[in-house]
Amino acid sequence: MATLLMPKATAVWLVDNTALTFDQIATFCTLHPLEVKAIADGESAQGIKGLDPINTGQLSRDEIARAEENPDHVLKIQESKVRVPQTKKKGPRYTPVSKRQDRPNAILWLVRNHPELKDAQISRLVGTTKNTIQQIRERTHWNSANLQPIDPVALGLCSQIDLDFEVNKAAKNRPAEADVDVAGEALLPASQTEGMALEDESRNYKPAKTEDDDFDADAVFAKLNSLKSNDDNSSEED
């Protein structure tokens, strides 16, 4: 059975140049209808250039016309007259000579959009070396000024399934990040913060003042003497 080349790029072209329904395009390109809708809304595949399936011999104009007239018609891919060799699952990925110049752009796209990918994973996806990946990461590549990030799937360097597999694998292997407060510092465990809180409370504790603390004997006797002198004066006047 013939395999569709560059499904997402083909979907971009069909959305822009035909009146096919989202379901028809999704079925033909092995995508979800919501992915096709996102392409039509400009929310997805913004950096992907559409691939004309008529020029590549995957569809005929008559087949597209029949599908546009009948929304229930399922597009059928044409059998290619040229046999495309199947890529081997094991061993290094072979990249055609015509596409090797696109690998730096694909590497830059992967580094920017999926920083969680390891060099070995990027190497498996686009068939490059760790040295080249490191140069692009550090912007020391000889052609860094002219590089543009382009989806490797759109360039035909890897399939969407391979890319999703590596991204999911990298996400599973990513270590859990420690909680960070607003200032950017890692938060301490609860066991430590509870001990610190008790220590701060004991350090800042001040006993409440009582009435005995405010008692002044001299002031009391002075007041009594003044009262006594007032009583004596009042008795003499009487």
Question: In the chain, how many domains are there?
Answer: 2
Q: What is the pLDDT of residue 214?
A: 53
* pLDDT per position as a tens digit, 207-223: 555 555 555 666 666 76
The residue segments making up the domain with residue 42 are 7-69
In a domain, 40, yes or no: yes
Contact between 79 and 63 (Cβ < 8 Å): no
pLDDT digit string, tens, across residues 90-101: 455 555 555 668
- Do 103 and 168 belong together in one domain? yes
Residue 40 CB neighbour total at 10 angstroms = 16
Average pLDDT over residues 15-31: 91
Among candidate residues 117, 146, 173, the one where a domain is terminated: 173
Q: Is residue 85 part of a domain?
A: no
Question: For the segment 47-89, what is each residue's pLDDT rounded down to a tens digit?
Answer: 888 889 988 888 889 999 999 999 999 998 887 655 555 555 4
Regarding whether 101 and 64 lie in a shared domain, the answer is: no
> What pTM value is reported for the model?
0.38
Final residue belonging to a domain, choices 173, 189, 205: 173
